[in-house]
Homo-oligomer: A and B are copies of this chain.
Amino acid sequence: MKSIVEQLDPIFKPKSIAILGASNTPGKWGYLMVDRPLKTGYSGAIYPVNPKKGDILGLRTYQSILDIPDQVDLAVVTAPAANSPQLMRECVEKGVKGAVLIPGGFAEVGSEGKALQDEVVRIAREGRIRFVGPNGMGIWSASGQLNLCFEQAPKPGPIAFISQSGTFGGYLSQIASARGYGLSKFISIGNQADLTASEYLEYLAEDQDTKAIVFYMEGFRDGRRFFHLAREVIGKKPIIIYKGGSTGAGARATLSHTASLAGCEEVFEGMCRQVGLIRAQEAAQSFEMAEALVGQPLPKGKRVGIMGSGGQGVVTADACASLGLEVPEFDAETTRSLKELLPPHAPPATNPVDFAGSYRTALEEASVTEKLLSLDYIDGVITNVPISPMVWGLKPASAGTTDPVSNSFKAATQGTEMFASLPKKYNKPVICLRFRRVDNDPVVDILRQAGIPAYDIPEQCARAMHALVKYAEAREHGES
């Protein structure tokens, strides 16, 4: 039997795709599924298929998939549900390897639809075609820039996102993009008639482009298998779940939405804890936490060093403590040695360290951060994004310039580069807050390249550190 990678690679890394039910009418699925991969610059061949003659978006259109002269890896079905058994038979005959079924009108509409869905599954299974959907919004795969889903393709990146809700999954992806998070894959899993959440998980565990896996789920068809598998996968990659239907009102809604039994919240929460899945409580938190999990070393414990100005340190310490993290007090020697690194008017250095409102250079910031990282009773540090040279009116240099302003800028960003090297040097995570926000700040780019997240809100920093601690604990638990 083929491995999961062999089965799903033709769906997520196809060399050629055929759009069954392709259309010339803007706005229709049959149009969008041709238009979107074209616009994104999908690297493979695109074959529109429609019984009526006439080219679509400048591409030669075939009357049947069987007329296409080349191999077709992936068939994207946008034709109405009733046509799908016949189309699936033709896919089998053509030797297609995978499919994405967009239309609704299957199990979600009742027993007739369920029968139709079962027939399509039977044909596909016999013909060894695995498929996504039906009743979904499609997929995105950064590999080959395969956009079969979004109005605008997301930024490629290390996060795979699997959503049981189509439109809401699209919204969440848009939120992720707006905040700068890149996606390796997006899968709107629809009715899971063939491929299930567990199988996507199994596949993504092997996917080289994916470093963290995010789910929006309302219920599991095969919860036991999913959690069993998840326990193995988290040895390789973190899994984050944002779950709908955790309350009575929400669960009632999942029933009419995805026909999911949301299940008992206490049981689900218990399983997540036991297996080491990280839960997101709000819409954007999955991606925020994924950013830290992808880029930062795992902490050895839950003791956090915090730097910030006044109230910032206070609320960050509160947020850490509320999540069960520790904010240990410093020893006297550390307080003494920090005194030299802080502005003269700063109060004696405790944890959190108070910069007392002063503007710090990146090098000054780095020296305090390094001091904290060097302590054997500190497992990770939350601090500020080093102040951008742009705050002082410095601008990036043009290449080869000897303009002193540009040189100062370079010197200032070198401080940031030193700062950015610290997590690797100490093998401890560093999480930053964008305290003095500058648009298009090159400092944030330097941090992001080094995998150091830069959040807007102190509580996001604490949640990211907490996710790192929880994931580290789950990994250790799995290894022991």
Interface residues of A (CB under 8 A from B): 104-105, 137, 163-169, 171, 174-175, 178, 216, 218, 242, 244-250, 252-254, 256-258, 281-284, 308-315, 317-322, 326-327, 329, 345, 347-348, 350-352, 354, 357, 435-437, 456-459
Contact = CB atoms under 8 A, between A and B. Distances in A.
B283 A315 contact: yes
Given A249-B321, A250-B321, A320-B249, A458 B283 contact: yes
A424 to B, nearest CB: 28
Given A354-B257, A457-B175, A314 B167 contact: no
Given A247-B321, A317-B250, A311 B345 contact: no
A256 B436 CA distance: 23
A347 B257 contact: yes
Contact of A318 (B137, B247, B326): B247
Pairs A-B, 3 closest by C-beta atoms:
A165-B311, A168-B311, A250-B318
A173 to B, nearest CB: 11
A312 B168 contact: yes
A121 to B, nearest CB: 22
Contact of A310 (B258, B312, B351): B258
B348 A256 contact: yes
A165 B310 contact: yes
Contact of A257 (B282, B314, B320, B327): B314
Contacts of A315: 168, 242, 244, 250, 283
Given A283-B458, A317-B250, A318-B250, A312 B178 contact: no
Contact of A253 (B174, B218, B242, B314): B314
A363 to B, nearest CB: 19
A124 B253 CA distance: 63
Contact of A167 (B250, B258, B310, B459): B310
A226 B249 CA distance: 38
A253 B104 CA distance: 56
Contacts of A437: 174, 178
A149 B337 CA distance: 33
Nearest to A137: B357
A435 B257 contact: no
Contacts of A281: 459
A425 B358 CA distance: 51
A104 B457 contact: no
A232 to B, nearest CB: 27
A418 to B, nearest CB: 24
B249 A318 contact: yes
Contact of A329 (B166, B252, B257, B310): B252
A240 to B, nearest CB: 15
Nearest to A172: B311
Contacts of A345: 104-105
A175 B456 contact: yes
Nearest to A178: B437
Nearest to A105: B345
Contacts of A311: 163-165, 167-169, 216, 218, 244, 257
A162 B450 CA distance: 37
A284 B216 contact: no
Contacts of A171: 309, 312, 435-436
A310 B166 contact: yes
Which of A168, A249, A283 counts the most B-chain CB atoms under 10 A from its CB? A249
B317 A249 contact: yes
B457 A314 contact: no
Contacts of A168: 308-312, 314-315
Contacts of A317: 247, 249-250, 252-253
